[in-house]
Amino acid sequence: MNSRVLVLNASFEPINVCTARRAVVLILKGVANAEECSAQWLHSSRFSMPMPSVIRLIEYIHIPFERKSLSRKNILLRDHNTCQYCGRVFPPQDLTLDHITPRSRGGDSAWENLVACCRSCNNRKGDRTPEGAGMRLMKRPQAYNLHVNRQIIRYLGRTDEAWRKYLFY
């Protein structure tokens, strides 16, 4: 019941990812319909239904732009658990957050100044800028916006084939 489910607006626009438990509640309340289902089934004493993998809201919901909170989890999602200096993919627990402009040199903790970094690259960079350490960033970090949100949803759905036609790969 904790598997991920893609949530589409009534216009088929991807807007969120929720748990299967939440998706089933939305379907049973009549707020959403299942667009794609997995091979698993949910059973109760009187009712059985396939486990949804993509749901679509029945009524269109206007979603104003929201600023996502700056957190380790959101930075790692934005950077796809990839060290932004060496380009290797790591499990989340093996990554650190690096300030591009170190805090000791006036750098702040902001979306544009934080990147995912492996421990060895972070130690090598130390208290210097990437240029000062002779290192190069794979890409400049972006602040959270609609494009970054779509990238995060694509990253989360990379293993589920049913999501692909809704995520515009």
Position 109 scores a pLDDT of: 93
146 compared with 137, residue with greater pLDDT: 137
Kindly report the number of other CB atoms within 10 A of residue 152's CB atom: 17
Exposure string over 117-139, b if 16+ CB within 10 A, otherwise e:
bbeebbeebeeeebeeeebeeee
The pTM (predicted TM-score) of the whole model is 0.58
Query: Which percentage of the chain shows pLDDT scores above 70?
Result: 89
Q: Kindly list the structural domains of the chain, giving each domain's residue range(s) and its CATH number in brackets, ordered by start.
A: 4-64+159-167 (no CATH), 66-144 (1.10.30.50)
Using an 8 Å Cβ cutoff, are 125 and 133 in contact?
yes
Helical H runs in 5-145? 20-28, 72-78, 119-125
